[in-house]
Amino acid sequence: MYIPFDQLPPQARLWIYQADRALTEAEQEEIKPMLERFATDWSSHGKGLQASASLLHNRFLVLANNETVTSASGCSIDKSVAFVRELEQRLGVSFFDRTRLAFLKDGEVQVVGMNELKNKVAAGEIDGQTLYFDTLVNNYGELQDAWPRPAQQSWLSRYF
């Protein structure tokens, strides 16, 4: 069962996928109905999930499920991964490259490779207060309250 993204309860579980490039307006318009259709049909052991999906900041695909209604099973999570892989093929984009980190600087999403991070920190281009899009955020309440969050309040804190 589809639920509008902005009506998710705070405890709704999230899966955040970061595209390796910004999605164009045309691409976003193309996949928005696909996201709603997937969320509508997404199920766990034959029971419909109270699910939603959204694109944020032209780059982040977020799938969500209200786990207080029905928990996502391993098989249903596998279905969501397969769906995201289909979107990758359709758009020619990668949603699974975890070596790229996204920051919000000057109102723009800027992506930095993990191999560049230490140098960017040393040069002062990224500091503990730089806003970071932590794809490990796992519930809607946290997404609303602290996303993006200062890098020092994420797993990146060890760099500061």
Boundaries of every domain in the chain: 5-91, 100-159
User: In angstroms, what CA-CA distances link 91 with 51, 63, 142?
Assistant: 23, 18, 29
pLDDT digits 0-9 by tens, 16-39 = 999 999 999 999 999 999 999 999
Structure-block tokens of residue 82: 């397969």
pLDDT digits 0-9 by tens, 109-125 = 999 999 999 999 999 99
Report the predicted TM-score, pTM, of the whole model to 2 decimal places: 0.92
Instruction: With both helix axes pointing from N to C terminus, report the angle between 25-41 and 74-91 in degrees, rounded to the nearest 10.
Output: 160
Q: What percent of the chain has pLDDT over 70?
A: 100
71 compared with 59, residue with greater pLDDT: 59
Which position has the token pair 């045309």? 26
